Structure 1
Amino acid sequence: MRRMSFAEFGGPDVLYVEDVEEPHAGPGQIRVAVRAAGVNPADWRVREGQVLKAHPLQRLPAGTGQDAAGVVDEVGEGVEGVETGDRVFGRGSATYAEFAVLSAWTRMPEGLTFEEAAGYPSVVETALRILREVGVRPGQTLLVSGASGGVGSAVLQIARDRGITVIGTAGAANQEYLRDLGALAATYGEGWVERVRRLGRVDAALDLAGSGVIRELVELTGDPEKVISIADLGAPEFGVRFAGVTGDVPAALAEAAGLIARGKLHIPVEKAYPLAEAAAAQADSQAGHTRGRRVVVVRAD
């Protein structure tokens, strides 16, 4: 089968398509014929060798990617509630490939395309986890720095469904996008703290972009324990938690499917890339300024 791989750590140019043996589902796993794979910051961080402790690689060359949507074609021992032929999305390893093994999954809601579904797993798990950890409650106001990407898009919609007011910061081109998702919008740049203050009191804050705003987020909330970052490794210097540990992925996927089915969650695909252009997909992800999600299309639906 074809798989996007890398044989050394480095930039996007180390990625290449190779023919490898097909993986097989072990106990508690399923294998899918991949239709599309989600593009996440974790993908290029692993490729660069930044997170070896969190994502140990036994040997190179290795595959890349952790999110996928596709059709189940192999069910491992002990797995119940899913059959070959089911359309699912979930999380596993080496998902930029024609076949991938998933360790967590859920059925795709009706009307969802494979490209859309591939963009949900990691961002929704992250969004649900950090909303829980930051402790924001209905009736309160949450500030989201870097709100237009995949995680931000999910946070805004989930928070709105829970009765939480959201102030989102993003570039000028994404202000209307944030408003469409129900957020109060403010632009980055000089004076952004005052622009946020004019929109209302901030009870809690999330840093999704890692753009050096932790000090200001603490100032706005008045409490470092009410701020969480998923992007700034220096956050603990200000007493702010860095949320880098994955939680209950199966439960998050099930909740996501329910939100999607109820029309409460939709994350648009900004751009889809063929497998051969996965390097460009990761480079664009690393450059930031994403609206919604980027995905790699492995085979046509």
Structure 2
Amino acid sequence: MIRYWLVGTVALVMLATGCAASPGATSKTVLAAAPEPTKEVRNLLLPYDHYQLSVNEIYLIESAKDLLTRDCMRKQGYDWEVIGDRKQYPDLRNRRRYAVIEMPVATEMGYKSNARLLGSTEVTAQKMDREARMSPAARKAATDPTDGCYKLAGDELARGNAENEDLVSRLNFESLEEARKSSRVAPALRSWVQCMADKGHKYKDFYAAAEDPRWATAKEPSDTEKETAEADVTCKQQAGLVKVLTETETSIQEREIREHKAYFERLASAKERHLAAARAVIDRG
């Protein structure tokens, strides 16, 4: 069963790295749009977020990798297009943590998702276009997974700055599960279930609604899917479900940060060293 907090992590990686484009790709890639984030989503941040990279921090590192890759490629006789303006974006990594929570998203997309929900796709599109314009030899020199310039650039920036993120990733999943099953959240969840039932939608929880097999059969959301998602958002709002989930998860994560204090201190230090290494490269130009 897919849990929506993981979608944020995957999308952040996709936004940062882009996708491989075919040599015949057009020079102007256009990726799917999504409704602008609501204030609620912009403010939906949790304690663990401080210890993992945001989109803007990933873009900072990507800017430094571009510069290092350019220098490496020049030594091999190739050009490397440095992507210029990586704008600043709100941190939307938790936008789908509790499935759909915004009415504009429910109305337009139902329970469907795309990378644009988590941040800008402009940089991803530029990276896809850049790769499409490269010769096969230049592309291999840049993107070879063993010794390509882009990989080597990433290795250089991360050298001595890495900390195993398996624990925080596991705790991130567990805090959501613990909150969802907690006595503090139970009344709001029961209220959501009853609200949905009153509207003709019988689900045990909001994940069951989001993962209804009917939604997977069509690429575009049906009227039924969108109506169900709209009811879902309305019932979450009436039950105060997102608020109590966020408050409960915050308490759980703060507890775990205290219990694993040394680990989280190492994680924060490794992250800052990684960002500092990127800033140093950018400052050198």
Shorter-chain-normalised TM-score: which range?
Answer: under 0.3
More helix by percentage: 2
Q: Give 1 or 2 for the bigger CA radius of gyration.
A: 2
TM-score (ref. length: structure 1): 0.21
* Higher strand proportion: 1
With normalisation by structure 2, the TM-score equals 0.22
